[in-house]
Amino acid sequence: MSMSFLFTFTIIISFGLCILYASAELQRLSHSSKHDGALSFLVLGDWGRRGAYNQSQVSFQMGKVGEKLDIDFVVSTGDNFYDNGLTSDHDNAFQESFTQIYTAKSLQKQWYSVLGNHDYRGDAEAQLSPVLREIDSRWLCLRSFIVDSELVEIFFVDTTPFVEEYFTEPQEHKYDWRGIGPQKPYITNLLKDLELALRESTAKWKIVVGHHAIRSVGHHGDTQELINQLLPILQANNIDFYMNGHDHCLEHISDTESPIQFLTSGAGSKAWRGDIKGMNRRDVNFFYDGQGFMSVKLTQTDATIEFYDVFGNVLHRLTSSKQLHSSM
């Protein structure tokens, strides 16, 4: 029995998810919408610190909002375990920073996660391991994949290998590039598969999730590699939202060349860096330096996105509408 078959089989029995097809390289998972066709989820990033730096307080508010919205799942934008990812698939940090922190009833849903740069500093493959799903069945982390609910397709993109300085100037950090191979072909293939999947998508809403920001006015700022290589593909394929973490803040920035909205949710624990650039830019709608998270509610015609602080206050709300296409 091949490893890929075993892996697929484990996903099906663990989560009741259905693999529709795995052509091209992007794995596709289906997640059905509610009976009324609506879908809601929370987006959290940069969180795993064994409850410290208000991680537990953010979790508490997520539980309350998750219950109110009757969420379908949770999206993690990466940097799941600090400081250096997991040491193995038996690292206690998995339970101490995930299972024992996100305990609210409403958060006992599927989590879809990507890897961040800090996750690549540990055993990156550990987070992809089915062993973690045996410990906590909510967990699902892959490098790049698609979650398809018909109403929305969410394209998760592994952005860490795009960033040149992790290869050329790793400083004291050691990145786990096993499974990536040479950087250039990995990115070329990923972009090719992504472009094909985006072009073929008929979903009402199209969302792309990555760890690194395309646009940010926080500490790390824009990611030039993503502006050059990823953004043109998103602009050409009618993407509604790009969601990311990496900067430990909450942000809403509009693309100046397309309807794409850039949304940062990287405030799951340590925040308040105080390093903000270009706040007076016209494309910056909202920036919050502190801890919090984001909620997304989608219907056939409307998207409502809200940013919350550690007290559960709504700091910023963004709404977007689409016309219903008549079949007549």
Q: Which residues are catalytic?
A: 220
Q: Mention every residue, 6+ apart, whose C-beta is less than 8 A from residue 328.
A: none
| Nearest approach, Cβ of residue 289 and Zn ion (Å) | 16
Closest distance to Zn ion from the beta carbon of 173 (Å): 12
83 marked among binding-site residues = no
Which CB, 63 or 218, lies closer to Zn ion?
A: 218
The first and second tokens of residue 161, run together, are: 């290998």
Would you say 288 is a known binding-site residue? Answer: no
Query: How many whole angstroms separate alpha carbon 218 and alpha carbon 228?
Result: 19
φ, ψ dihedrals at 307, nearest 5°: -110, 135
Tell me whether residue 211 is annotated as binding.
Answer: yes
For residue 38 the two structure tokens come to 């609506």
- Which helix (H) or strand (E) segment holds residue 130: the answer is helix 130-135
Return the number of the residue (204 or 246) whose C-beta is nearest Zn ion: 246
Residue 246, annotated ligand binder?
A: yes
CB of 114 to Zn ion, least distance (A): 11
Q: What's the CA gap between 299 and 10, in Å, rounded? A: 31
Closest distance of CB 220 from Zn ion, Å: 7
In the complex, the smallest distance separating the C-beta of residue 21 from Zn ion, rounded to whole angstroms, is 31
Q: Amino acid identity of 182?
A: P
Question: Shortest distance, CB of residue 77 to Zn ion, whole angstroms?
Answer: 9
| 79 in a labelled binding site | yes
The b-or-e profile of 266-303 (16+ CB within 10 A means b, else e) is: bbbbbbeeeebeeeeeeebeebbbbbbbbbbbbbeeeb
Is position 285 annotated in a ligand binding site?
Answer: no
Pick the closer one to Zn ion by CB: 47 or 205: 47
How would DSSP label each residue in 225-265?
HHHHHTHHHHHHTT--EEEE-SSSSEEEEE-SSSS-EEEEE
Q: Locate 101 and state its tokens.
A: 């922190």
SS (H, E, C) 164-183: CHHHHCCCCCCCCCCCCCCH
Q: For Zn ion, which is the closer residue by CB, 83 or 200?
A: 83
**79 Rama class: left (phi>0) / alpha (psi -120 to 50) / beta:** left
> Closest-CB residue for Zn ion?
246
The answer to whether 65 and 308 have CB atoms below 8 angstroms apart is yes
| Residue placing its CB nearer to Zn ion in the complex, 97 or 117 | 117
> Does 35 carry a binding-site annotation?
no
- Residues near Zn ion (CB under 5 A) are 79, 116-117, 246
Q: Which one, 17 or 114, has the nearer CB to Zn ion?
A: 114
Residue list for the binding site for Fe cation = 46, 79, 82, 117, 211, 246, 248
